[in-house]
């Protein structure tokens, strides 16, 4: 049996290996530190650890600071404000803390402003938008879009985006409005079969990493009539090219509505977009109306896709109640609730995570909850499924099979936020419904910083 000294050295070695590999999730498990938990987006754990530290030492300023950071990340800005005020009071000469306090005060005021103006019958951002009268200048050097999407227009769009160019705003509006109508009419849980002469590729989070998505397409092929694609949410925020990815996915959805699928993720929501960069990017590259139109289209996106009655694909995970079935998802009227809120079926579909322990537990994120292998097994058995496929979390190899293979995570943003040395992955599914996992590495991209509102000190993008 190893001595205490040997165990301590092994513990230290594991931590050093995890740090060297930028494997923040493993580092969090090894060290259980607030900083590692924040890096791995385990904000709930970070808050719990910081709270324990504060209970042991009420003057431990770093614990207040890290708890404030974690609260900000999960949009609990009032709690964050309280802790930042404590940091400034206990460390009045800390200039960085004062800056963070000022940032947090702005966020709180902004959140309160949007809450104050939210009304149920707010007019659409499309109201008064006359596309027919909008003129595309003769000196616009891109392909022209008429009444329908074309492969030629998408090819030209890709080249424009690679070269740092934008679309004309008329085309941006056209694409968003066309896709909003298409996805609004789809079921909350889209049900599809893979034809004998086709295959489906399931992709996880891409988070604005446009050049890595281009690498995925280079390796695996672009969408065609026989090559279906399903993007499982979180295609915006954090990366520097969220508008490019959103417009590209929407263009493909318009071109091939019956063979290109998009699920909503927890980042296709207003509160996340205001904090993690997409709103700012829309306004900087286009205008405020573009963000509002995207927001309306995000709330129209399906929440899940049932593939061949064998795999339920949804962004987050399973539910706090074992009685929930596929029929409950079918019956969910997502159009009555634009944003997921803090509880309920929609929130759980977008936010929950698997855990290794049986049963259910508190969320490491501080939002939603976690579900164990027994929960997954019961859900699959009750609904006749082989497995659930979800995204929502970095995996160092790009994917992971958990819960005896019944819970599969796929994540398609390699070298996530340029700070985690993970691979990206995608899953190919043929007409036999066998799963083929493919990994890929990040590729170089222009050095353009994302327009994120969260401080880069505690989140690298």
Token duo for residue 273: 């977009």
User: Is 267 among the catalytic positions?
Assistant: yes
Residue 423: other Cβ atoms inside 10 A: 20
Out of 22, 207, 267, 315, pick the active-site residue: 267
Question: Which DSSP helix (H) or strand (E) runs through 47?
Answer: helix 43-56
> Nearest Cα to 395, choosing from 373, 368, 423?
423
| Range list of H helices, 57-209 | 61-73, 77-90, 95-117, 151-162, 169-184
Asked whether the beta carbons of 436 and 258 are under 8 A apart, the reply is no
Q: Which residue has the tokens 């295609």?
A: 235
Phi, psi angles (nearest 5°) of residue 305: -135, 130
CA–CA gap between residue 71 and residue 367 (Å, rounded): 11
Token duo for residue 51: 């709270």
Instruction: Give the torsion through C-alpha atoms of 65, 66, 69, 73, to 10 deg.
Output: -160
Residue 163: other Cβ atoms inside 10 A: 8
Residues taking part in catalysis: 267
């Amino acid at each position: 049996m190893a001595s205490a000294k040997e165990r301590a050295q092994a513990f230290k070695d594991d931590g050093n290996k995890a740090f060297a590999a930028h494997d923040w999730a493993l580092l969090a498990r090894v060290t259980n530190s607030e900083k590692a938990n924040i890096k791995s987006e385990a904000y709930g754990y970070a808050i719990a650890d910081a709270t324990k530290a504060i209970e042991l030492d009420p003057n431990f300023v770093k614990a207040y600071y890290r708890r404030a950071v974690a609260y900000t990340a999960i949009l609990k800005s009032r709690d964050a404000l309280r802790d930042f005020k404590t940091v400034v009071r206990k460390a009045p000469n800390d200039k960085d803390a004062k800056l963070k306090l000022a940032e947090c005060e702005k966020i709180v005021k902004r959140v309160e402003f949007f809450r104050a103006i939210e009304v149920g019958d707010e007019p659409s951002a499309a109201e008064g938008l006359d596309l027919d009268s909008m003129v595309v200048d003769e000196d616009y050097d891109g392909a022209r879009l008429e009444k329908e999407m074309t492969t030629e227009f998408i090819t030209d769009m890709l080249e424009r985006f690679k070269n740092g160019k934008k679309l004309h705003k008329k085309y941006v509006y056209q694409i968003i409005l066309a896709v909003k109508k298409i996805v609004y009419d789809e079921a909350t849980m889209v049900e599809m079969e893979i034809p004998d002469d086709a295959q489906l590729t399931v992709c996880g989070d891409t988070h604005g990493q446009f050049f890595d998505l281009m690498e995925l397409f280079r390796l695996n092929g672009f969408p065609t009539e026989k090559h279906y694609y399903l993007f499982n949410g979180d295609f915006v925020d954090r990366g520097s090219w969220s508008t490019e990815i959103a417009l590209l996915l929407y263009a493909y959805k318009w071109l091939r509505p019956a063979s290109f699928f998009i699920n909503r993720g927890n980042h296709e929501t207003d509160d996340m977009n205001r904090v993690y960069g997409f709103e700012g990017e829309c306004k900087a590259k286009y205008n405020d109306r573009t963000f509002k139109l995207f927001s309306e289209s995000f709330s129209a996106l399906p929440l899940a896709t049932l593939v061949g009655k064998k795999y339920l694909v949804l962004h987050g995970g399973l539910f706090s109640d074992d009685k929930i079935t596929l029929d409950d998802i079918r019956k969910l009227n997502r159009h009555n609730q634009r944003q997921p809120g803090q509880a309920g079926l929609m929130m759980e579909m977008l936010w929950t995570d698997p855990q290794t322990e049986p049963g259910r537990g508190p969320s490491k994120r501080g939002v939603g909850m976690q579900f164990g292998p027994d929960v997954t097994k019961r859900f699959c058995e009750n609904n006749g499924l082989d497995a659930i496929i979800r995204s929502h979390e970095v995996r160092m190899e790009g994917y992971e099979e958990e819960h005896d293979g019944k819970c599969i995570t796929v994540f398609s943003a390699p070298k996530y936020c340029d700070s985690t040395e993970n691979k990206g992955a995608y899953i190919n599914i043929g007409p036999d419904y066998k799963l083929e996992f493919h990994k890929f590495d990040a590729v170089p991209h222009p050095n353009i910083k994302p327009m994120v509102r969260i401080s880069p000190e505690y989140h690298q993008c």
